[in-house]
Amino acid sequence: MSIAWINQDLIAGATPANAHDIEDALVATCLASAAQGDVSAYYDLGVAFSTGSHGVNCDLIEAHKWFNLAAVAGHEEAAMCRADIADEMTAREIAEAQRRAREWLASTTRKAA
C-alpha cells in the first residue's frame, strides 16, 4: 500500500536529524488536503493512525474517525479498515470516534461557508 501524500524522494533523502520534521510536514500536508475534502487524505490519515506511522502515535479513535470520514465519502477500503479496527475498540471509543468525525465535518463546513 502506498500513501498518496508521501513524497518518496523526500523520505529517501531524510537523515535521522530531519526525519521527524519531514514526517510532521507530511502529516500537516495530509491534514490540509483532508480539510479540502480529499477522501484519499482521510484514508491515508486512518492508515497512519491505525499503524502508528509517519510520525503519529497509534490511536484507534483517530484512525476510526478518518476511516469513517473516508467510508462515508464512498471509499470502500476505508469501510473495511474501519470495521477491522472497530473489532479492537470499545463501544465508548467508537462513540468518541464518531463524535470527532462529526466535529471535523462541522468545522470544515463552517470554514467553507
| pLDDT tens string 44-87 | 999 999 999 888 999 999 999 999 999 999 999 999 999 999 99
pLDDT recorded at residue 13: 46
Asked if residue 44 lies in contact with residue 70, where contact means CB atoms within 8 angstroms, the answer is no
- Is 41 a residue whose pLDDT tops 50? yes
Asked if residue 81 lies in contact with residue 47, where contact means CB atoms within 8 angstroms, the answer is yes
- Is 12 a residue whose pLDDT tops 70? no
Asked if residue 11 lies in contact with residue 22, where contact means CB atoms within 8 angstroms, the answer is yes
pTM: 0.79
**% of the chain at pLDDT higher than 90:** 63
Mean pLDDT of all residues in the chain? 83
Show the CA angle centred on residue 67, arms to residues 22 and 64, nearest 5°: 95
- Is 7 a residue whose pLDDT tops 60? no
pLDDT band for position 112 (50/70/90)? low
Q: Give domain limits for the chain.
A: 8-112
